[in-house]
C-alpha cells in the first residue's frame, strides 16, 4: 500500500538534496524529511527517517519502499538529507561466527565432545584438526588459565597436540595469544568459512555447462571406494568413519569406478555442510567438481536446506574461484593455535 507523506505540491522545480537523485532509483537509501504540520521536541519542524529501496524519482517526489512493503511518497522539497546505504546483509550473513561454527559442529561431530563452558573439547584419534581441537568460542566458564590447563591435559591424555580453533580477530584468539599459544601452521593460509543460499547456488549451477559425469553413487555409509582418495582418512580409519557418518542426515557421493571424484554433505536443521570435495588428479579440469556440488546441493535442497556452507583454505585459488562463481561468500575466517 502507499503512504503519502507529501506536504503539498512544491511551487516550482524542487532542489535536489545532496546525495539523492534519479541515480538512486533501485538502490537502498535513507531519507530524512520534515513532517509538515508537526513540531519537533526543540520547537522546530519534526523530522523522521525513511529507510528502504527508492522506486521512483520524478523531480518533485520520490517513492521509497520500506522493507515491510509499504511505499512512501515523499515531496522532495521536504527532504532535509539523504544518501544511498549498503544493502542489508542476507540473514545468513547476520548470523554470528559463533552460531555458524556451532551449526557446523553438528555436521562434523567428533568422536568425543565435552563442554567446557561455551568451549567444546573435541577428540577423534587424530583425524582432522577440526575434530581434534577445542572450539574456543565464548567463555569457558572458569578462569582462562584454568581452562587452558584443562585443555592441555585433555589432549595430553589422548596423546594429541593441544590445538584450539579460533576465529581470526576474535577476543578468544587475542586471549590465547596472550597466554603464549601460537599459530599452529605458521606461514599457511587461514581457513575461510563460506556461506550461500541453496536456491542461489542451484540457480547458478543451472547456468554452468553440464559434464557427463561417471556413474554417481550416493550413500550414507563410508565405502572403500569413497576412502580411496583420502589418505588421511585411511590412516585413521575408525575415527574417520565415525566422524564422516556421524551426522543424523549425511550423504557421501562417488563418481565413477574407479572413483574420479567424490564429496560429502550433511544436514542440520536447514543448514547443509559441504565437505571433502575431491577430484582425482587425472580427472581434473573436466568440470567434475561442479557435478559433485550439483549432486550434493540437490540432495540438500530436496530435504529443505536453505543455507549451504563450506570451509576452504585461503591458499586454494581453484576452489575459491569455483565457490565464488556459485555464490558463496566468506562469512568469517578461522585458524588453529597450538599450546606452548
The answer, yes or no, to whether residue 152 has pLDDT greater than 90, is yes
Torsion of CA 258, 260, 261, 262, to 10 degrees: 0
Express each pLDDT in 25-52 by its tens digit.
Answer: 988 889 989 888 787 677 778 888 898 8
Express each pLDDT in 237-295 by its tens digit.
Answer: 999 999 999 999 999 999 998 999 999 999 999 999 999 999 999 988 889 999 999 99
Please tell me the distance from the alpha carbon of residue 22 to that of residue 100, in angstroms, as a whole number. 39
pLDDT score, position 147: 98
* Structural domains in the chain, sorted by start: 2-84 (2.30.30), 92-183 (no CATH), 191-332 (3.40.630.30)
pTM of the model: 0.75
Q: Give the end-to-end CA distance of the chain in Å, rounded to a whole number.
A: 63
Burial 203-234 (b: 16+ CB within 10 A, else e): ebbeeeeeeebbeebeeeebeebbbbbbeebe
Average pLDDT over residues 134-153: 98
Classified as helix, coil or strand, 280 is: coil
Express each pLDDT in 69-125 by its tens digit.
Answer: 889 999 999 898 888 887 666 666 678 999 999 999 999 999 999 999 999 999 999
What are the respective helix, strand and coil percentages of the chain, to the nearest 5? 30, 35, 35
Scanning the structure block, which residue is given the C-alpha cell 587424530? 126
Amino acid at each position: 500500500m502507499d503512504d503519502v507523506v507529501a506536504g503539498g505540491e512544491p511551487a516550482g522545480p524542487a532542489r535536489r538534496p545532496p546525495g539523492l537523485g534519479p541515480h538512486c532509483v533501485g538502490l537502498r537509501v535513507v531519507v530524512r524529511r520534515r513532517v509538515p504540520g508537526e513540531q519537533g521536541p526543540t520547537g522546530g519542524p519534526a523530522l523522521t527517517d525513511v529507510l528502504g529501496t527508492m522506486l521512483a524519482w520524478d523531480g518533485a517526489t520520490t517513492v521509497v519502499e520500506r522493507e515491510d512493503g509499504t511505499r512512501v511518497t515523499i515531496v522532495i522539497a521536504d527532504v532535509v538529507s539523504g544518501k544511498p546505504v549498503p544493502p542489508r546483509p542476507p540473514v545468513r550473513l547476520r548470523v554470528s561466527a559463533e552460531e555458524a561454527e556451532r551449526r557446523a559442529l553438528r555436521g562434523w561431530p567428533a568422536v568425543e565432545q565435552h563442554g567446557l563452558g561455551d568451549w567444546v573439547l573435541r577428540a577423534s584419534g587424530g583425524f582432522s584438526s577440526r575434530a581434534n581441537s577445542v572450539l574456543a568460542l565464548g567463555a569457558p566458564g572458569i578462569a582462562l588459565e584454568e581452562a587452558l590447563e584443562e585443555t592441555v591435559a585433555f589432549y595430553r591424555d589422548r596423546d594429541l597436540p593441544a590445538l584450539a580453533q579460533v576465529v581470526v580477530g576474535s577476543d578468544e584468539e587475542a586471549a590465547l595469544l596472550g597466554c603464549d599459544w601460537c599459530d599452529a601452521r605458521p606461514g599457511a593460509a587461514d581457513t575461510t568459512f563460506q556461506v550461500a543460499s541453496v536456491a542461489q547456488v542451484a540457480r547458478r549451477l543451472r547456468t554452468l555447462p553440464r559434464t557427463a559425469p561417471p556413474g554417481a553413487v550416493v550413500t550414507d555409509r563410508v565405502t572403500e571406494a569413497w576412502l580411496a582418495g583420502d589418505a588421511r582418512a585411511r590412516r585413521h580409519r575408525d575415527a574417520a568413519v565415525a566422524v564422516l557418518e556421524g551426522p543424523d542426515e549425511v550423504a557421501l557421493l562417488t563418481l565413477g569406478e574407479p572413483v574420479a571424484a567424490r564429496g560429502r554433505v550433511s544436514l542440520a536443521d536447514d543448514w547443509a555442510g559441504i565437505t571433502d570435495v575431491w577430484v582425482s588428479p587425472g580427472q581434473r579440469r573436466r568440470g567434475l567438481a561442479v557435478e559433485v556440488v550439483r549432486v550434493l546441493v540437490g540432495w540438500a535442497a530436496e530435504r529443505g536446506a536453505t543455507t549451504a556452507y563450506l570451509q576452504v583454505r585461503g591458499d586454494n585459488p581453484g576452489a575459491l574461484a569455483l565457490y565464488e562463481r556459485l555464490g558463496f561468500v566468506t562469512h568469517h575466517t578461522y585458524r588453529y593455535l597450538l599450546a606452548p
